[in-house]
């Protein structure tokens, strides 16, 4: 009884695994999205998926697809897990109709998958990877994310010029992004005259209790704390810090740019500054159109990373249109030449595959983000 049960199970599995490999249709162009749709980071992955689906839908309705073929999105959930990402990567490169990949969320997960993409020669654009070594994994590996050095300088500029800070505190999450950003912020801050970093505290991702950290900052008395973390670090940290010292100011990073920041921090994130490459209240027609379409379709405002995913898909599709081919190597070559006017600004890739962006300064005022003059 039990053995036959087992055999039945295995047979079922084999059948369902093969059923995944449907006959290849060459009359569509596929864009793959690989992102966490389950697990702790599902919110970001869902944003990626929504953004790419929206972009593809717009191409299909406005232009009738690309190269007269319909564009299709294939979505893979990697649970933000390297092991799964590597398997997914094999799946993606095995599907000849897939022209490019938008995705993988965390740098570590991207880097578990990128050797496969590089080996097989398919373009991967991560909207979020920030690991310094990520884009040098190979010439097929791109990121449409801010470059840490540039963004760190903007953050310090805000602290020094907009908030007149002399003593800076840094709070960073202990992830590849947080740690490398914090060390660059420290380095750059030393170049400014009369500015010093008085305290640096690190936290593990997922911390909600900031009391020991706040106590340490409160002793060092910085004028401004630069928070290298997502919205779910910045908001509770600001809440707990402001309860003790209401005069403190915060500067965040573009990764924290999300409506959730205000939903979670309420009055305590008033006056928080961020450098951002995307601003959903912008008067730019292009951006306005995206934000309206996104809100109409999904009922929530797009965040910075979501906008970057949206552009990533757009970049791949434009590259295909420019070269009039879905040849994977040709797409790669085109990406180094392309200059894409997206919702996160004019995007070009340098020889590493890092996107060059310009920043705007945002501030939370009366429960909404507003753009401030530099």
Q: Which of residues 221-260 bind another protein (CB under 8 A)?
A: 231-232, 235-236, 239-240, 243-244, 260
Q: Which of residues 74-133 bind another protein (CB under 8 A)?
A: 76-77, 79, 81-84, 86-88, 90-91, 93-94, 106, 108, 111-112, 115-116, 119-120, 131-133
Q: Which of residues 183-222 bind another protein (CB under 8 A)?
A: 201-204, 206-209, 211-213, 215-216, 218-219
Q: Which of residues 37-66 bind another protein (CB under 8 A)?
A: 37-43, 46
CB nearer another protein, residue 204 or residue 296 = 204
Q: Is 276 in the site for another protein (CB under 8 A)?
A: no
Q: Is 147 in the site for another protein (CB under 8 A)?
A: no
Q: Among residues 63, 174, 221, 337, which is the contact residue for another protein, using CB under 8 A? A: 174
Size of the site for another protein (CB under 8 A): 81
Q: Is 16 in the site for another protein (CB under 8 A)?
A: yes
H, E, C per residue of the chain: CHHHHHHHHHHHHHHHHHHCCCCCCCCEEEEEEEECCCCCCHHHHHHHHHHHHHHHHHHHHHHCCECCEEEEEEEEECCCCHHHHHHHHHHHHCCCCEEEEEECCCHHHHHHHHHHHHHHCCEEEECCCCCCCHHHHCCCEEECCCCHHHHHHHHHHHHHHHCCCCEEEEEEECCHHHHHHHHHHHHHHCCCCCCEEEEEEEECCCCCCCHHHHHHHHHHCCCEEEEECCHHHHHHHHHHHHHHCCCCEEECCHHHCCHHHHHHHHHHHCCCEEEECCCCCCCCHHHHHHHHHHHHHHCCCCCHHHHHHHHHHHHHHHHHHHHCCCCHHHHHHHHHHCCEEECCEEEEECCCCEEECCCEEEEEECCEEEEECC
**Least distance to another protein, CB of residue 88, Å:** 8
**Least distance to another protein, CB of residue 261, Å:** 10
CB nearer another protein, residue 217 or residue 361 = 217
């Amino acid at each position: 009884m039990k053995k036959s049960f087992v055999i039945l199970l295995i047979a079922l599995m084999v059948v369902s695994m093969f059923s995944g490999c449907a006959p290849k249709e060459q009359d569509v162009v596929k864009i793959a999205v690989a992102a966490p749709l389950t697990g702790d980071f599902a919110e970001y992955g869902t944003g990626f998926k929504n953004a790419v689906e929206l972009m593809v839908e717009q191409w299909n309705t406005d232009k009738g697809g690309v190269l007269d073929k319909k564009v299709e999105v294939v979505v893979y959930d990697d649970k933000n897990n390297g092991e799964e990402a590597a398997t997914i990567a094999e799946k993606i490169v095995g599907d000849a109709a897939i022209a490019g990949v938008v995705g993988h969320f965390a740098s570590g997960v991207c880097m578990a998958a990128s050797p496969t993409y590089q080996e097989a020669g398919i373009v991967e654009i991560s909207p979020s990877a920030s690991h310094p070594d990520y884009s040098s994994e190979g010439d097929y590996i791109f990121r449409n994310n801010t470059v840490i050095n540039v963004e760190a300088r903007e953050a310090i500029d805000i602290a020094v010029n907009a908030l007149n800070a002399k003593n800076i505190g840094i709070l960073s999450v202990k992830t590849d992004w947080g740690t490398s950003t914090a060390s660059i912020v420290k380095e750059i801050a030393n170049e400014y005259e009369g500015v010093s970093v008085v305290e640096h505290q690190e936290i593990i991702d997922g911390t909600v209790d900031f009391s020991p950290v706040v106590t340490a900052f409160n002793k060092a008395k910085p004028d401004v704390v630069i928070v290298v973390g997502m919205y779910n670090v910045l908001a509770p940290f600001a809440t707990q810090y402001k309860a003790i010292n209401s005069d403190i100011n915060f500067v965040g990073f573009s990764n924290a740019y999300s409506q959730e920041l205000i939903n979670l921090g309420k009055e305590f994130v008033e006056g928080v500054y961020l450098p951002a490459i995307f601003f959903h209240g912008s008067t730019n027609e292009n951006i306005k159109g995206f934000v309206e379409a996104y809100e109409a379709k999904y009922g929530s405002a797009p965040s910075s990373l979501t906008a970057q995913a949206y552009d990533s898909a757009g970049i791949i599709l434009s590259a295909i249109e420019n070269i009039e081919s879905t040849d994977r190597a040709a797409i790669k070559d085109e990406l180094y030449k392309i200059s894409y006017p997206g919702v996160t600004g004019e995007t070009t890739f340098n020889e590493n595959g890092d996107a060059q962006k310009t920043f705007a300064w945002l501030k939370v005022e009366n429960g909404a983000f507003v753009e401030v003059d530099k």
